[in-house]
Amino acid sequence: MKTTALKNALMITIGSASSAFAANGAREDNSGLFVWIFLGFCALIVVAQLMPAVLMMLGFAKAMGKEKVAEPQTVTHK
């Protein structure tokens, strides 16, 4: 009898909380087409700024990787 009452109490507790899980939690921001165009334009600006920076870093890495060989210098006496 005691376990049946405990099971019933547990079922009532879980059953009453299940309606909270079924609530619609999605939030709609009503963003229109112009908002998405603006965000795409901002992303295009960021990408356009990152490309030269990445190319410059690759150039620095390539220059640091090269071994510089000392060339013999000719000295002329007058």
E-state strands within 1-78: none
Per-residue confidence (pLDDT) for residue 18, from 0 to 100: 52
The arithmetic mean of pLDDT across residues 65-72, rounded, is 74
- Render pLDDT for 8-67 as a digit per residue (tens, 0 to 9): 887 887 776 555 555 566 666 777 899 999 999 999 999 999 999 999 999 998 888 877
Per-residue confidence (pLDDT) for residue 77, from 0 to 100: 77
Per-residue confidence (pLDDT) for residue 14, from 0 to 100: 77
d(CA 27, CA 30): 9
Query: Among residues 52, 53, 30, 33, which one has the least CA distance to residue 41?
Result: 33
Query: Among residues 27, 49, 45, 25, which one has the least CA distance to residue 37?
Result: 45
Residue 3: is its pLDDT beyond 80?
no
Q: Which two tokens stand for residue 3?
A: 């376990």
Q: Does the predicted TM-score (pTM) go above 0.85?
A: no
